[in-house]
Amino acid sequence: MTEGKLLITGINGRIGSLIRDPLQDHYQVYGCDISGPFSERVLKMDISREEEVQGFFEEHGPFPFLVHLAATPDVDAPWEKVLQANIIGTRNIYHAARASGTRRVVFASSNHVTGAYEGFPPRLHTTLDPVQISVSDPIRPDSDYGVSKAFGEALARYYYERWDLASICLRIGSVLEEDDPTRHQRHKKTWLSHRDLIQLVEKSLSAETGFGIYYGVSDNTGRFWDLTNATEDLGYRPQDNAEEVK
């Protein structure tokens, strides 16, 4: 028995492609993206166009559950792209979700909300015993992209406080196409394995927490993001450690 309809925005991206099949065991999964492939349940939508987003939700919704991944993913993306996709687009999604009766959103935030703690260029990966960064620490975005994800977290909080739309914001670490953290020194600390990613999203969708911000990272030796609240609130228990990957 499924939990109901679930919409994944940006379903054809790296993370969407990883979570869509596992989530089909529990949800009726629908998807949208700006580029294909498309199918009966995966449809084209430009989230920066408000009328297009509203029409999509009216025609195919309601979606009690939503995983919002669609965004410009490049940390160095120009401001205009960040503005249209990550800021205007995220607001359009939340507005349509609330209007159509969505109960819970999992928002793909980013570790770049606090990326400036690592310096310019990043240097925390060279520290033997780095200071743990928790969600209670002030944000320190490292880019327009990081700022846009901080905006998404603030928007999620606003919609929860005003309209009781539950949101889990995940500051996702390094999700790698080949799931191999050994090729880059920083990835040994920031890697989020594919199976830990799937577990984290599943836990976020089924959580009773109304609003929360959590880091998404595997249990890597020397990781510098605190997972305490993810363990306590969501029951997230990562299975992988980059130091054990050969």
Which residues have a catalytic role annotated?
Answer: 145
Nearest partner of 200 among 228, 165, 238, 167, judged by Cα: 238
DSSP 8-state code for residue 82: I
Q: Count Cα atoms within 13 angstroms, Cβ side, for 99.
A: 13
Name beta bridge partners: 133.
225
**Is there a contact between 167 and 214 (Cβ–Cβ < 8 Å)?**
no
Q: Count Cα atoms within 13 angstroms, Cβ side, for 26.
A: 14
Residues 144, 156: Cα–Cα separation, whole Å = 18
Both tokens assigned to 41: 């349940």
Distances (CA, A) of 113 to 17, 35, 109, 129, 217: 24, 26, 8, 21, 14
Who contacts 121 (Cβ-Cβ below 8 Å, separation ≥6)? none
Instruction: With H, G, I as helix, E, B as strand and everything else as coil, classify residue 234.
Output: helix
Instruction: With H, G, I as helix, E, B as strand and everything else as coil, classify residue 11.
Output: coil
